Amino acid sequence: MRDFTTTTTTLLLIVSTVFASGVYGARSRKQIGNLMASRLAEMSPLGRFMVGKLREELGDQLDPPPYVDVAVDDRILPCSYERRILNAEYEDIRVGITSRLDFEFIPASEPASINILNSTARFDTSSSTWTSENSQSFGMYNSSQSDFIDAPWLGSVIVGNNQDVTDSQRQSGEKSNQKEVTVDVSTTYVCPANTLCRVETWTYTANIRGISTLVPMVDSQCYEAWARKNYKGFPKDYESDRFDPDLGSNDVVYAYHAFRRLGKSNSKLMHSNLTIPSVHEQIPEWTRFGAPYYNIYKLDELQDFDDDDDDDDNEEEVDDLMDDQSKMDNTTDPQFSFFQVLPSYLEDEAWWPDEDKYGVEFNIHERDTINIPTLHYDGNPKRTQVMLEIPIPAHNWSNNTRRGSRVKRQTSTGAGTLQAWRDDLKDRGIKYKLLWTNVCDQEEGEKTEKDCGWAR
């Protein structure tokens, strides 16, 4: 009873208020279910404001772009991965609101003060999804389990094309893992008389659609262990052990010399993820795996071609671009000499070729979509608690059941339903009031904008 105190101290009023909330509130929940409440929240001025704030934040975090590493079938290449790097713009971000009813309250003839003690957010803690609309390469491994590498792209992610992910989840019987997080709050709010005051907690999900660049990679430590296990006579020590090339195939010889070369160049390369362009032509198996993904060329050779073309100033720009592309494809153009590449720098937990010496063009680009809950760095959801004030005209109280039926019939009409609900609630004078939010909370030590700048 301490949760609800009215402007009077009459026990009868408190009891009648709670009783009214239980009876009329049940009907209200039927009129405004969580799904409809979520859609209405997205259309409200407060909802659009919060969505805008989250889109701004996510837009800032698209540089550097999010990526995911997906294991490729070992039958194609042991210990190999495909890195999908998503390039998206601010306009590609969509944020949805999920509304959860905390409680409803209806004072009778006088306003009532409501003590709001807590807020409960419900969100899905099962895997986020990273899906491709028309991926051919996903046929290598169907749906896979992987990890986002950096915040806010934290947590496990199911990766696959749309059909693979759907079928995989259905076959495994996987269900969403709903988690509830309740936080204590201390907010007092006055609910006007004859008004349905509906307290909701909003959580948010983001949908980001962009173009992924596919980069082939190999785990050097994993592959070396695989080579020792599968290649007869593969030495344990590259310095003291001598390798007899007659004991194995060309693949064994190339693998031995490649790892020996990598170890001498930088011992860290023996325990890292290597992009295939960074070890171009070191091991034939690696190069064959990476061939469809990229073209690599020496920048000084490209400059030689450019110097030869300086006299052809009258050529069309489109012809120049096509000519440049043909020069880059050293895998098919015999005028480029055979050359090997060693890794130069580590970025995003993978080694890459020297950008001052080599140019790399990646060939496979696919439209991907990320779906994630919006979380803070501590893994807790971003949330907003709001109060909806829905005036209830006195002459409609006795006809509420009939009114509920009319609105229910509206919800079955299809396309006009959402607009009908919005117009109906607008006509009824519904107001969204911000109680509190952590959407704009920063990490410890950083300045936080109170209420995200929303004027109460």
**Does residue 201 lie within any of the structural domains?**
no
Taking the CA atoms of 400, 401, 405 and 406 in sequence, report the sign of the dihedral they define: negative
**Does residue 329 lie within any of the structural domains?**
yes
Quick one: 275 exposed, middle or buried, by C-beta within 10 A (0-12, 13-18, 19+)? buried
pLDDT at 18: 34
**Does residue 111 lie within any of the structural domains?**
no
- Please state, as a whole number, how many other Cβ atoms lie within 10 Å of the Cβ of residue 8: 11
- Please state, as a whole number, how many other Cβ atoms lie within 10 Å of the Cβ of residue 143: 22
Beta strand 80-87 with 67-71 is: antiparallel
Measure the CA–CA gap between 111 and 5, rounded to whole angstroms: 10
CA atoms in the 13 A half-sphere facing the CB of 66 = 28
Look-up of token digits 């050293």: 330
Look-up of token digits 């992910």: 165
**Does residue 292 lie within any of the structural domains?**
yes
CA atoms in the 13 A half-sphere facing the CB of 260 = 16
Q: For the chain, how many structural domains are there in total? A: 1
Residues in the chain with pLDDT < 50?
1-30, 137-147, 149, 151, 154-155, 165-175, 311, 313-335, 396-415
pLDDT at 157: 58
- Cβ within 8 Å of residue 352, ≥6 positions away: 275, 277, 278, 343, 344, 345, 346
What secondary structure does DSSP assign to 216-257, as a single string? EEEEHHHHHHHHHHHSTT--S-TTTS---GGGS-HHHHHHHH
Give CA separation, 180 vs 47, 91, 198, 410, in Å.
21, 31, 19, 32
**Does residue 433 lie within any of the structural domains?**
no
Q: Which domain holds residue 328?
A: 219-364
pLDDT at 380: 80
- Residue 204 · residue 50 · CB < 8 Å: yes
pLDDT at 256: 85
**Does residue 75 lie within any of the structural domains?**
no
Measure the CA–CA gap between 98 and 50, rounded to whole angstroms: 12
- Residue 71 · residue 144 · CB < 8 Å: yes
CA atoms in the 13 A half-sphere facing the CB of 279 = 35
**Does residue 274 lie within any of the structural domains?**
yes
**Does residue 117 lie within any of the structural domains?**
no
